[in-house]
Chains A and B, each alone.
Chain A
Amino acid sequence: DQQVKQNSPSLSVQEGRISILNCDYTNSMFDYFLWYKKYPAEGPTFLISISSIKDKNEDGRFTVFLNKSAKHLSLHIVPSQPGDSAVYFCAARPPRSGGSNYKLTFGKGTLLTVNP
């Protein structure tokens, strides 16, 4: 049972436009969400996160939105740059009280291509 879903395997946008990457989850107990970015032949790197008590977190060109009622989050990149081309993974963490709060559950990733 896939608890974190990224239904779009790929996304292509023009440089300067907005990129919107989507993620859905099924486990309402998740209390923290993270986005990772992965270049080929490199490990994933942490990009931005959001607590379940918030609905928006912004860091420069990157903004993550969380809709708890819909169990949906999205990552917005504005403006998109060619260097943003990578695989983006959505991940979710259970609450600290759960005992295994260190485990991240990842989606399958979305390949973003930003065209010059």
Chain B
Amino acid sequence: GAGVSQSPSNKVTEKGKDVELRCDPISGHTALYWYRQSLGQGLEFLIYFQGNSAPDKSGLPSDRFSAERTGGSVSTLTIQRTQQEDSAVYLCASSLAGTRNYGYTFGSGTRLTVV
């Protein structure tokens, strides 16, 4: 596609429920990233996928968070047993491998609200 697409754009869920957030990167981009922005905070790295390599999951805040990337394209971020502190904007980005000097292309994000 022309840009990074994320769905849903907004999600309100009850505490304790599971949620799935989807990211469709730019076609041909081998690198995919998930970040989140909590209220009043900067963007926080969550996870990175690059081609067929093992993902870097070092930013996932707890074992309730997981992510997968199927077929080297679409990625899903899953949060189990959501808590109120999970409320944030979850941003997905993609890039061509090797374009470290030009940054990523971000999607518009999913605003998650846990009530």
Flag if B100 contacts A102 (CB, 8 Å): yes
Once A and B bind, how many residue pairs between them come within 8 Å at the CB atom? 66
* List of A residues within 8 angstroms of B65 by Cβ: none
* List of A residues within 8 angstroms of B31 by Cβ: 102
* List of A residues within 8 angstroms of B52 by Cβ: none
- A45–B44 Cα distance when bound, in Å, is 16
Q: How many whole Å from B85's CB to the nearest CB in chain A?
A: 17
Stretch at the interface among B14-22, B72-80, B101-109: B101-109
Flag if B42 contacts A107 (CB, 8 Å): yes
Flag if A44 contacts B106 (CB, 8 Å): yes
* List of A residues within 8 angstroms of B42 by Cβ: 2, 4, 6, 89, 105-109
Mask: chain B, 91-105; 1 = CB below 8 Å from A; 0 = not: 101000000111111
Flag if A49 contacts B4 (CB, 8 Å): no
A51 at the interface (CB under 8 A from B): yes
Q: Among the listed B40, B104, B105, which residue makes an inter-chain contact with A108, where contact means beta carbons less than 8 Å apart?
A: B40
Interface residues on chain B, number (Cβ under 8 Å): 28
- A93–B44 Cα distance when bound, in Å, is 13
Select from chain B the residue with minimum beta-carbon distance to A99: B56
Flag if A43 contacts B41 (CB, 8 Å): no
Mask: chain A, 25-46; 1 = CB below 8 Å from B; 0 = not: 0000000101010000111111
Q: Among the listed A34, A51, A103, A109, which residue makes an inter-chain contact with B45, where contact means beta carbons less than 8 Å apart?
A: A103
For the complex with contacts A43-B108, A44-B91, 20 further pairs of A-B residues with Cβ separation under 8 Å are A6-B42, A36-B106, A43-B4, A43-B91, A43-B105, A44-B106, A45-B106, A46-B102, A49-B101, A49-B102, A49-B103, A100-B58, A101-B100, A102-B56, A103-B56, A104-B103, A104-B104, A106-B44, A107-B42, A108-B41
